[in-house]
Amino acid sequence: MRKYHALLERLLRTEGLTVTVACLKDDTDVVLGYAVSTGGCLHYIFVKKAWRKIGLGKSLLPKDLKSVSHLTEVGRSLLRKHPSVYFDPFQ
């Protein structure tokens, strides 16, 4: 985990990093999900279980999605669903 901590620290200092957060309209302290991306590269995406399967995750994706930097279950799913999206661990 120490190596991932260093990776996340570097990622958070990346110029052009975007963190998109989905929250309740009436209570912005309630986070439903988030996505972390740089340009068209998706690094992380998460949606709380109760809010999945309604398109929230899709709305958090970068509009110009080109690559994923981590092969999580969601990353693999994106590669299957979008043939033009590729895996690039060096983003």
Q: Is residue 84 very low, low, confident or very high in pLDDT (cuts 50, 70, 90)?
A: very high
Categorize the per-residue pLDDT at 86 as very low, low, confident or very high, splitting at 50, 70 and 90: very high
Nearest residue to 77 (alpha-carbon basis) of 57, 62, 48, 49: 57
Q: Mean per-residue pLDDT for 20-33?
A: 96
- The string of pLDDT tens digits covering residues 27-78 is 999 999 999 999 999 999 999 999 999 999 999 999 999 999 988 888 888 8
Q: Who wins on pLDDT, 7 or 16? A: 16
Greatest Cα pair distance in the chain? 38
Ranges of each domain in the chain: 2-87
pTM of the model: 0.84
* CATH entry 2.40.420.20 includes domain 2-87: no
Taking alpha carbons only, the member of 23, 22, 17 closest to residue 42 is 17
